[in-house]
Amino acid sequence: MTTPQSDTPLPWADAPLTARLVLADGTVISGTGLGATGSAVGEVCFNTAMTGYQEILTDPSYAGQIITFTFPHIGNVGANNDDTETSNLAARSGVRGAVLRADITTPSNYRSAEHLDRWLKARGIIAIAGVDTRALTVLIRERGMPNGVIAHDPSGNFDIDKLKAEAAAWPGLDGMDLVPDVTSGQSYSWDETRWVWGTGYGRNEDAPFHVVAVDYGLKRNILRCLASAGCKVTVVPATTSAADILERKPDGVFLSNGPGDPAATGKYAVPEIQKIVSSGLPVFGICLGHQMLALALGAKTHKMAQGHHGANHPVKDFSTQKVEITSMNHGFTVDRSTLPTDVEETHVSLFDGTNCGLQVKDKPIFSVQYHPEASPGPQDSHYLFDRFVELMRRRKAG
């Protein structure tokens, strides 16, 4: 394997080496700094999506992580306000940094409102360009996601020993609850629907179903998908009690995606999820919500070596026998061998066989590990929001 050193600039990047990515094992990667200055520590992962870099960089599930983009041209379509995925606009992006192959070019897209470099600066995100991202990806695949420090200083002066020590000392995401950094501070209502070519976003002003969405790091397009499926949505903070949720008399409860270790967040979330499960209401979970629902039902979760991050992951749905191409972003997984007898596996990854979905037998409760809202990603799994609505419709019909 080639060590991803970049001690000389790429041929097209005649720029000084003003950034470093220092891994916990002592590996030092040099490149050109972009975005914010300073340093940040996090877990280094890779994402294989070819589109949607702004949605990826604003996905709260990436809190505590430094994203290596395997697609070489990042920033070429600029940035805009519509493609921001974090629903908590008062909080900065949870992502710690971005690693790029090529320098950011001048934006070329009719929707572009801002150069990505300026957008990164405004959000305090550090980036490094000119890195052999293929070699770094191979390193992560062979050794797992390392802890690292990304640093940007226009002077090009770095205390490498200090950065190495910081990377080695960071405890990592195992056992870390990052949800308080990304959840909303108060409840609010949502009725904006999915984007449509030629008209943009719409409004669902007469929704027949009321859903309470628990925000563990909720993405905006999930809310749009719920609204498009016929739901009036009330978003509540992650620490909201089951009693408060049930007092709102919802037709169903949604458990959102989010960052960090589900077992750590589950210390306060799982007991409330168990009460919601006992209420008999339809429940739908995605990503972290899926993992914590599994914990509430008696299963276990564990850390993955390289995780799943991308928009090209094949998943089989056992209920339809169809294969979907999905968007994924997680570093923890549900241990299928620990699922209790009243819970059945509904989806599985065709990459590595890990669990990607479950449902409770004889109860209107299900969840998936991947991101059916497709922002970014394919739209193969939009049907899951209709499945949730159908469960609420059946319950209301008695």
Predicted confidence at residue 92, as pLDDT, reads 61
Predicted confidence at residue 398, as pLDDT, reads 83
Q: pLDDT averaged over the chain?
A: 94
Share of the chain above pLDDT 70, in %: 95
**188, 248 contact by CB (below 8 A):** no
Parts of the chain belonging to CATH 3.40.50.880: 179-396
Candidate list 55, 166, 324, 373, residue with the active-site label: 373
The residue-averaged pLDDT of 91-103 equals 88
Interval 310-320: pLDDT, tens:
999 999 999 99
CATH assignment, 19-169: 3.50.30.20
| Predicted confidence (pLDDT) at residue 280 exceeds the cutoff of 70 | yes
Predicted confidence at residue 107, as pLDDT, reads 95
Candidate list 45, 231, 287, 356, residue with the active-site label: 287
The residue-averaged pLDDT of 129-142 equals 97
Parts of the chain belonging to CATH 3.50.30.20: 19-169
Helix H, strand E, coil C: the string for 140-185 is: HHHHCCCEEEEEECCCCCCCHHHHHHHHHHCCCCCCCCCHHHCCCC
Interval 23-70: pLDDT, tens:
999 999 999 999 999 999 999 999 999 999 999 999 999 999 999 999
Interval 342-368: pLDDT, tens:
999 999 999 999 999 999 999 999 999
Predicted confidence at residue 200, as pLDDT, reads 87
Distance (Å, whole) CA 201 – CA 224: 9
- Concerning whether 287 is annotated as a catalytic residue, the answer is yes
Interval 104-116: pLDDT, tens:
999 999 999 999 9
The residue-averaged pLDDT of 72-94 equals 85
Predicted confidence at residue 3, as pLDDT, reads 54
At the fourth CATH level, the homologous superfamily of domain 179-396 is Class I glutamine amidotransferase (GATase) domain (3.40.50.880)
The residue-averaged pLDDT of 174-182 equals 97
Predicted confidence at residue 13, as pLDDT, reads 47
- Concerning whether 356 is annotated as a catalytic residue, the answer is no
The residue-averaged pLDDT of 163-177 equals 98
In which region does residue 360 sit, left (phi positive, over 0), alpha (psi from -120 to 50) or beta (all else)?
beta
Residue 197 pLDDT class (50, 70, 90 cuts): confident
What residue type is assigned to position 60 of the chain?
P
Interval 1-10: pLDDT, tens:
445 654 444 4
Distance (Å, whole) CA 319 – CA 346: 7
Tokens of 352: 């590595």
- Concerning whether 371 is annotated as a catalytic residue, the answer is yes
Residue 91 pLDDT class (50, 70, 90 cuts): low
The residue-averaged pLDDT of 324-340 equals 97
